[in-house]
Structure 1
């Protein structure tokens, strides 16, 4: 953070911004349900394959290590099998957050690994993951009916758009002689829609994976509870849900609320605002003016230029998702308990 940002943050704190104690949906607003049929089908396919699996890797987003995890994975897939929780996109949160999260998770998980499969940390993350997988497979004595098999099967599971296919492609490129990508990847949830055939990710020893579709917890459906609303909005901020199922302006309002609650006022500088604010309408109007976001529309038969609030909202979200607004960790309330 530069000196001006530090000054701005100190100034904002000194003025005692009245931040909302809780985030509530606007009157009449509803969050739409999103549990496509392929998720139900995918879960059934995973259950059918689990007998063939030696090890389960759950990929989740490090920004929301407690939010949105599908409890069905424990009940229906693990069943005594060794498993690893891989928290991807760890480069988007601070080291201190990682330590706090690890302390909380290690009491219930077999193993926890923080990784980032984009940018400079990709190679190191790929090697760290494979080393851990090899170690766990070599020490696993409970292979049941697969005890005489000379190869290994791993199932990679998780909610949508946390990087499962990227992880598989990275392992395949590094530890096999095969050059082609095995799994399609995308910036939006729902690219993988079915449990595919085995994909080789390592030659020595021979290790295969089943790529699986992202499956949300069925109980994570819109209702009036604070925890459910915030969980859905956090998932949308991390692009595990499509923006359209929440709405850009509502998503920006929640982002503003979260930043203010953590005393993170870097958005004031980066968005060119006159001051901090807890009013998303004022913020987006200032952003539209600052960046000259306009659109032409007909008012009473006359074409006029008006503020493009949608582009302003996209600008705010993009700055957050690129890490320009600082630490993207969103599950801070779990660490405060």
Structure 2
């Protein structure tokens, strides 16, 4: 299964981000804690260059807590890093603190010149459906940004007033032109970062079941009340379909419906806390 998705509005969005960087003090780089590597745009370092940034691992309620700690240590070598749940607000206050810390030297210099501190201007960047709008709403304590559990909800840029001393520029989710590793495309599709019409849901479900059989077999068995995991993925999906009553006339398995259930339950965290990637070693 080959997955690629780079619609025209993302080309414009990338250009807008580059154009607006001169107005920005601190960039918030938002990642999905379940797939920190795959959700990180490989072009981001070239785009941001030496820009001050805070790396934020979102959706920690769905990720493995120990792996989140490991990823925090890994990213701390790149930039200040915090783990958050943008739905509940857990950890969100740390973002503004880290942004303020990054601006300390500049504000000390302003004070030495007898000038007052100004608002810290921030920009939030990340892939589609990583929770940017939810995070903005937490930072601003209001429902100021559109939210939606589908990629592409934010289509333009907008300034949002936060607490005193901070402003934030929202940007649309940005992918990159080509996934060199199709495993990255697969994980992005699982996380909901890619439009559903771009990939085959049934094949995606097979790949997910195959992966879960390797990394979390006990959770797969428990969730679907399976007595054992059939080593044949095609038959294993059929077993799941039978357990969930996804049957057509003649007792045939409704594989489309079964696939939709498997993918949705993964996205909703029904398998428990799972991180699909480990940080590089060394």
Give the alignment's TM-score, normalised by structure 1.
0.75
Q: Is the 8 A contact 1:90 1:115 kept in 2?
A: yes
Unaligned residue ranges in structure 2 (runs of 5+): none
> Bigger shift: 249-258 or 283-292?
283-292
Query: What whole-Å deviation, never above 9, does each CA across 1:57-111 have from its counterpart, x for those lacking one?
Result: 00010111112411322112x232210110100122222212222232222x121
1:309 and 2:255 matched: yes
- Between Structure 1 and Structure 2, whose CA radius of gyration is higher? 1
Q: Alpha carbons of 1:32 and 1:110: their partners in 2 closer, same or farther (altered >3 Å)? A: closer
Q: Is the 8 A contact 1:31 1:245 kept in 2?
A: no
Q: Note closer, same or farther for the CA distance 1:231–1:210 as it changes in structure 2 (3 Å cut).
A: same
Q: How far is 1:152 from its partner?
A: 2.2
Alignment equivalent of 1:116, drawn from 63, 73, 85: 85
- 1:143 CA displacement: 9.8
- Secondary structure of 2:168's counterpart equals strand
**Are 2:215 and 1:262 aligned?**
yes
1:240 alignment partner in structure 2: 193
The 10-residue stretch of structure 1 (57-66 or 283-292) with the greater mean CA deviation from structure 2: 283-292
List runs of 5+ in structure 1 lacking aligned partners: 1-29, 174-178, 222-227, 297-303
The equivalent position to 1:40 in structure 2, one of 4, 7, 11, is 11
Corresponding position: 1:79 with 2:25: no
| RMSD between superposed Cα atoms in Å | 2.5
The change in CA–CA distance for 1:230 and 1:32 in structure 2 (over 3 A counts) is closer
Structure 2 distance, partners of 1:40, 1:258, is: 32
What secondary structure, in the 3-state scheme, does the structure 2 residue paired with 1:124 have? coil
1:247-270 deviation line (CA, Å, top 9, x unaligned): 112111211222122253321232
How far the C-alpha of 1:148 sits from its partner, in A, is 7.5
Match of 1:99 in 2: 69
2:40 and 2:232 map into 1 onto residues whose CA distance is 31
Identify the residue that residue 299 of structure 1 maps to in structure 2: none
Counterparts of 1:211 and 1:142, CA distance in 2:
28
Determine the structure 2 residue equivalent to 1:200: 161
